[in-house]
Amino acid sequence: MDILIFILKVLFYAISAIVAFYFLLSPLLFIAYYLKGGLKKRFTHNPAGKQYEFAAIITAHQDARFIAPFVDSFLKQAYPHFKMYVVADDCNVEDLHYKDPRIIILKPTQALHSKIKSIQYAIDHFANEPDALIIFDSDNLVHPNYLLNLNGYFQQGFRVVQTHMLSKNTDTAYAQLDSVGHIYYTFFERKAKMALGLSSAILGLGIVLDYKLYKEINYKNTVGGFDKKLQAKMAMLVKQIAFADDAIVYDEKVEEAAVMEKQRTRWIYSYFSHVKESWQLFVHGLKTFNMGRILLGLTMLRPPMIILISLLILIIAISYFVKPILLLYWAVIIALFVLTFILTVITQSYQKGMAASLRFIPLLVISQFKSLLKIKKAKNNFLKTEHKKVMYIDELLKNEPS
């Protein structure tokens, strides 16, 4: 009996240590970022350097409404060396005609119903081999200096670059909540790590990859988790995944509770589907003594926030019976995390109204719990996020600070 109690206590303290680590990681990175002096170094475009050619891949699924605005934002790029491949999967493209030879509309003869398959379809139809490819969603828009700023990072030798995603819409409570969550993760998983010389986490959009590197990836599962496998593989192939703070892509934020739940359900399912790749990256980081890979692997292994919060509540309850003094430690950890979260949103918001949206956080927590209960639906379901905000880049930039 004593041995069983000992084992349970060891397990309790081990899980407590892991949960404490993940809640303390953001305060530690926040302090390290400002001690380092912030993200001071950017890599500006050199007109005399190599002019990389980018192949932009846009995956549209059963909805062609957003293609024209996105193409418009690309035609307004200050950097001319690109080709844009629009994969219109199960879409009507009869009204999409462009004289510019850089805009290539692809219509698969059979529906693909998969982002990974759509990307491969575009690659199979490349007019020529590019230096790098960029992956987007159809509802995205890009800033006129997007490619110009991005080229500066490739000129400096980076082979994998995550560009900076901002919100296309922030006019509802849920859109603001979606934006706030992204501000938090962008700072700690990308901006802070870039400032510290570590590999940044990637997204499923706005990720730019050396073309030859991307060809080394083999996707067996074509439903969900596109960015997880990509991130693990790229982090093992390059010294550092860069974050381009000044290469801005805009993404539509969800505006309704049901849509947010569906999106989070897909993300939670993706986490469990790619634990193996996350662990492999962590072990690879240990073997190569690469702190960026170790930290990125640990970040990928971090359970979704709603699971962490659930574990935290359970641990606090158990702590009351095991060792009440632990409650004081947990109070300090929670206070540091909440303070860091608030300070991050206040100091890192590029768009108006984000700090005020913090009052809606309980809605986000409720939505996360509901998402957790629906995880089985994601196994064989695409769970596509519906988008509604059809905007052009000129309209969007009018509301952005100069």
Q: How many domains does the chain have?
A: 1
Q: CATH code at 28?
A: 3.90.550.10
Q: Is residue 245 part of a domain?
A: yes
Q: How many C-beta atoms surround the C-beta of residue 183 within 10 A?
A: 25
In this prediction the pTM is 0.86
Residue 156 falls within a domain, yes or no?
A: yes
- Is 2 a domain residue? no
Give the DSSP H or E segment for 401: none
Distance CA 29, CA 340 (A): 10
Domain presence at residue 402: no
For 206, the token pair is 């706005």
- Phi and psi at 146, nearest 5°, equal -55, -60
Distance CA 242, CA 208 (A): 10
Q: CB-based contacts of 50: which residues, under 8 Å, 6+ apart?
A: 154, 155
Q: Report yes or no on 356 lying in a domain.
A: yes
Q: Is 5 a member of any domain?
A: no
Q: How far is CA 95 from the centre of its chain?
A: 32
Terminus-to-terminus CA distance in the chain, angstroms?
A: 67
What integer pLDDT is reported at residue 181 of this predicted model?
81
Distance CA 64, CA 87 (A): 10
Query: What pLDDT is attached to residue 191?
Result: 94
Q: Where are the beta strands (DSSP E) in 77-231?
A: 82-89, 103-106, 132-137, 141-142, 160-167, 207-210
For 227-237, write each residue's pLDDT tens digit.
777 888 889 98
Sheet holding 54-61, edge to edge: 103-106, 82-89, 54-61, 132-137, 207-210, 160-167, 242-251, 141-142
Domain range enclosing 62: 10-397
Least confident of 50-54, 84-88, 114-118, 382-386: 382-386
52 within some domain: yes
Question: And the tokens for 358?
Answer: 């913090």
Q: Kindly state whether residue 3 falls inside one of the protein's structural domains.
A: no
Q: What is the secondary structure of 361-383 as a DSSP string?
A: HHHHHHHHHHHHHTGGGGTT---
Could you give the CA distance from residue 36 to residue 61 in angstroms, rounded to a whole number? 43
- Tens of pLDDT along 223-270? 445 677 788 888 998 999 999 999 999 988 766 666 666 666 766 777
Rounded to whole angstroms, the Cα distance separating 385 from 57 reads 19
